[in-house]
Chains A and B, each alone.
Chain A
Amino acid sequence: AQSVAQPEDQVNVAEGNPLTVKCTYSVSGNPYLFWYVQYPNRGLQFLLKYITGDNLVKGSYGFEAEFNKSQTSFHLKKPSALVSDSALYFCAVRPTAGNKLTFGGGTRVLVKP
């Protein structure tokens, strides 16, 4: 069975500082990996995905994520955080052999001015 872990319930960062949101996964075979963001009273918005190839994936709003197969991690990063980046972030995994998309528990990001 596949699983996703986001070890931090909340991440606090000052505006302008780098932001990292951690994600590790467990899945049989090669995974498809995704990051989503959720703002209050809204659905989830797709940020980026890893399918294959380059381990560094660039996505929307200046976010990027690094796939590390040996550490089974897919951490989300942004070089310079904005107050507007404050939201709930979800990592998700789906095996390439098909199956449901499984989400991590979410990490709340708070960017302080």
Chain B
Amino acid sequence: KAGVTQTPRYLIKTRGQQVTLSCSPISGHRSVSWYQQTPGQGLQFLFEYFSETQRNKGNFPGRFSGRQFSNSRSEMNVSTLELGDSALYLCASSEGQDNSPLHFGNGTRLTVT
């Protein structure tokens, strides 16, 4: 099976702009989670979607949003970018049970200047 695919791999944006990141999960996986990884804060949970519904949400401002499509593909959007949004954004898919391991993509490296 193909793994989790995230596009684009790298992004450079300017403060105030918005950005959309895309994630294609492993075939058959219905759950998609998003994480932000930074050197200072580590791995921070953004949100989880299951069958097009947001199932869990982390403690991020409303500028961070996501959605999941009927084919389980997911997108996350960040509006009004700030310098502090520079990070590696990781998407992970799973079968959706609580004991199911997450399978991660290689991430999108976002740099905000």
Chain A interface (Cβ within 8 Å of chain B)?
32, 34, 36, 41-46, 49, 51, 90, 94-106
Contacts and interface: CB of A to CB of B under 8 A. Distances in A.
A13 B48 CA distance: 36
Given A97-B98, A100-B45, A106-B42, 15 more contacts: A36-B104, A41-B106, A42-B106, A43-B107, A45-B104, A46-B103, A49-B99, A94-B98, A94-B99, A98-B98, A100-B33, A100-B48, A100-B56, A101-B102, A102-B45
A43 B42 contact: no
Interface of B: 4, 6, 33, 35, 42-43, 45, 48, 56, 58, 90, 92, 98-99, 101-107
Contacts of B92: 43-44
Nearest to A35: B101
A100 B104 contact: no
A49 B101 contact: yes
Contacts of B98: 32, 94-98
Contacts, number: 53
A103 B33 CA distance: 13
Contacts of A45: 104
Contacts of A32: 98-99
Contact of B99 (A43, A51, A102, A104): A51
Given A41-B106, A43-B104, A45-B104, A101 B45 contact: yes
